[in-house]
Amino acid sequence: MIATLVDIASWALIAAGAFFILVGALGLWRMPELFTRMHAASVIDTLGAGLLIAGLILQAGFDLVALKLLFIFLLLFIFGPVVTHALAQAALHEKIEPLLTEDRRASRAHDAPGRQQ
C-alpha cells in the first residue's frame, strides 16, 4: 500500500520534471536570442532537474543511492549558476549585444556614483 503510494508520488514527480525539461527545450527553440534562451534553459536545471531527482530519490528509497542523487542535485544547484554566469559574461565580452526592450543600466548606475559595469 505504502509502496504503491510512494511509486505514484515518484512517477508524478518524474513526469512533472520531464514536463519542465520539455518546456525548457521548447523555450530554447522559441526565444529570439542568446540571453533570453538562457532564461528558458534555467527552467530545465532548476525545476526540471529538481523534480526529476526528487522522483528518482523516491524510487531509490532512503539509502546511500538517494544521498548520491542529492549530491548530484547540489552539484547542479551550485555549478549551474556559475556556468550560466560565465556564458553570459563571455557573450558580453565578445560584444554580443542582448536584444532589449528596456535598458536601465545607465540610469541605475547613476544611483551609485563612480560605479559602472
Partner 1 sequence: MRVVSLAGFLMVFWLALSGHYTAWLIGMGVVSTLAVVYVARRMGVADMEGHPVQMLPGAPLYFPWLAKEIALSAWRVTRIILNPRLPISPTMTVVTAGQKTTAGMATYANSITLTPGTITVGASGDQLTVHALVSENASELEAGEMDARVTRFEGHA
58 binds partner 1 (CB under 8 A): no
- Among 104, 5, 10, 113, which residue's Cα sits nearest to residue 57? 10
Answer for which of 42, 59, 60, 73 binds partner 1 (CB under 8 A) is 42
Neighbours of 66 (CB within 10 A): 16
Neighbours of 29 (CB within 10 A): 9
CA–CA separation, 35 vs 56, rounded Å? 31
35 binds partner 1 (CB under 8 A): yes
36 binds partner 1 (CB under 8 A): yes
CA–CA separation, 23 vs 37, rounded Å? 12
95 binds partner 1 (CB under 8 A): no
Task: Please identify, among the stretches 7-15, 54-62, 63-71, the one whose residues bind partner 1 according to the rule CB under 8 A.
Answer: 63-71
Task: Please identify, among the stretches 7-15, 54-62, 87-95, the one whose residues bind partner 1 according to the rule CB under 8 A.
Answer: 87-95
Output the nine-digit C-alpha cell for 70: 542529492
- Among 23, 31, 35, 12, which residue's Cα sits nearest to residue 96? 35
Residues interacting with partner 1, by CB under 8 A? 20, 23-24, 26-27, 30-32, 35-36, 38-40, 42-43, 46-47, 50, 64, 67-68, 71, 77-78, 80-82, 84-85, 88-89, 92, 98-105, 108-109, 111-112, 115-117
